[in-house]
Amino acid sequence: MSPRRNRQRGAKPADRTERTGAGRYGLEAAEEWRGEEWVVRQVGGTGAVKHYRCPGCDQEIPPGVPHVVTWPQHGDVDDRRHWHRACWNARDRRSARLQRSRNAPRY
């Protein structure tokens, strides 16, 4: 006996990007932080393909982990920063002076 099919034959699954219009990366939103406008973009696990270092906790964000990309509204491409979602949400409660280890890269 073969397993039951939940889809009709020949029917293609709906493409999620067509419904939301989000594309590979998430929708952008504007937030104010420290008197400056920031663009905030949610990145899903499939869009995260490189290693990044979170400026909020100074820990690595491995590939495949959903996170947030932020940059100043009138900033350059080099101003983008990749944050853990929890770190971005707690950015006002975090200390401004991070304690890095000696071998940690300085981004």
User: So what's the pLDDT on residue 71?
Assistant: 92
Range from 56-60, 79-83, 96-100 carrying the lowest mean pLDDT: 96-100
Q: How far is CA 65 from the centre of its chain?
A: 8
Q: CA 65, CA 49: separation in Å to the nearest integer? A: 9
Match 């029917």 to its residue by tokens: 11
Give residue-wise pLDDT tens across range 13-61.
Answer: 554 444 444 444 567 888 888 888 999 999 988 888 899 999 888 899 9
Q: Strand 81-83 relative to strand 60-61: parallel, antiparallel, unpaired?
A: unpaired
Nearest in space to 107 (alpha carbons), one of 86, 80, 84? 80
Query: What phi and psi values does residue 89 have, to the nearest 5 degrees?
Result: -70, -25
User: What's the average model confidence in pLDDT over 60-71?
Assistant: 92
